[in-house]
Structure 1
């Protein structure tokens, strides 16, 4: 559905305003879909992002600073997110043996199992997105978003 119909607005100042409003609306739509999907696993999208980052380094540990640097949503309190994940036994957090000022974060077997459980439904969701536009369209969209960020 076109953005004009979604938000019941026929006029925009210009194409730039329309594009930004559409981008914000679409971001929120994707966020809401993600929240609904991850709710059944009792995690937030940010937890999923952190688990994928840590799994990517597995079996090596990663520091909270390294995680924060590559997170998709950098506005979150990384310590609070990690605390919840430790309580859920998805990750382990220990003092680094070589630098006692640094924390080492690793993924647990339970965390790996959770990611495996999420992988199939997530692939189905991503496939449904792939059916909405071509690979060329996806590359063009990504290029335009890169261009927007400068």
Structure 2
């Protein structure tokens, strides 16, 4: 089925088609991830935070340090950490050097959770099994180019907006 028929809109050009196709596909991937992590009582963002904390372990990380490493930079990291703490997956302590910061570390329960999830992660990988390994590499390279293009465009848009308001 052609993309235009699937989403039911007329496409202006190939760049719009690629952009909308990416957003549309993101929805499928996101829903697949959400359904997978729901089995463990997590959201995709919560898993991402726990994964980062596991990689950081035994070193603690601040809320801002965690946000910097998150896939979704717009997430409310403080609320995310509070929810993970309430579930017992992380320990949160005040930073002894700066009372405004907290140190976040993966708890023993968080480690056990990750040990349970890790053998199942290949189920997430299987969502991309329609691609060969070479195609997956090519897609990753193309997406890197897209991110660079988006960042450049966003800087131009911000500059234009600032110039218009002055």
TM-score normalised to the size of structure 1? 0.90
Instruction: Compare 97-106 and 20-29 and name the one that shifted more.
Output: 97-106
Which residue does 1:75 correspond to in 2? 74
What SS class does the counterpart of residue 93 from structure 1 fall into?
strand
The gaps in structure 2 that reach 5 residues or longer are 149-166
Match of 1:140 in 2: 138
Structure 1 stretch 84-93 or stretch 116-125: which is displaced more? 116-125
1:74 is paired with a residue whose SS is coil
1:3 aligned partner: 3
Q: Report the Cα distance in structure 2 between the residues aligned to 1:130 and 1:68, rounded to whole angstroms.
A: 27
CA distance in 1, matches of 2:15, 2:44: 29
> What does 1:48-63 align with in structure 2 at a 5 Å threshold?
48-63=47-62
Aligned length: 148
Q: Compare CA radii of gyration and give the structure with the larger one.
A: 2
In the alignment, which residue of structure 2 is the partner of 1:37? 36
What is the alpha-carbon distance in structure 2 between the residues aligned to residue 110 and residue 3 of structure 1?
44
Equivalent residue for 2:17? Answer: 18
Q: Report the 3-state secondary structure (helix = DSSP H, G, I; strand = E; otherwise coil) of the residue aligned with 2:121.
A: helix
In the TM superposition, residue 2 of structure 1 has moved relative to its aligned partner by: 4.8
TM-score by length of 2: 0.82
Distance 1:24 1:113, change over 3 A: same
Over aligned residues, Cα RMSD in angstroms? Answer: 1.6
Segment drifting more, 132-141 vs 78-87:
132-141
The structure with the largest helix share of the pair is 2
Alpha-carbon distance between aligned partners in 2 of 1:2 and 1:111, rounded to the nearest angstrom: 44
Distance (whole Å) between structure 2 residues aligned to residue 144 and residue 111 of structure 1: 34
Q: How big is each residue's C-alpha offset from its partner over 1:95-119, in whole Å with a ceiling of 9 and x where there is no partner?
A: 1223323211000111111111111
- Give the C-alpha shift of residue 4 in structure 1: 3.5
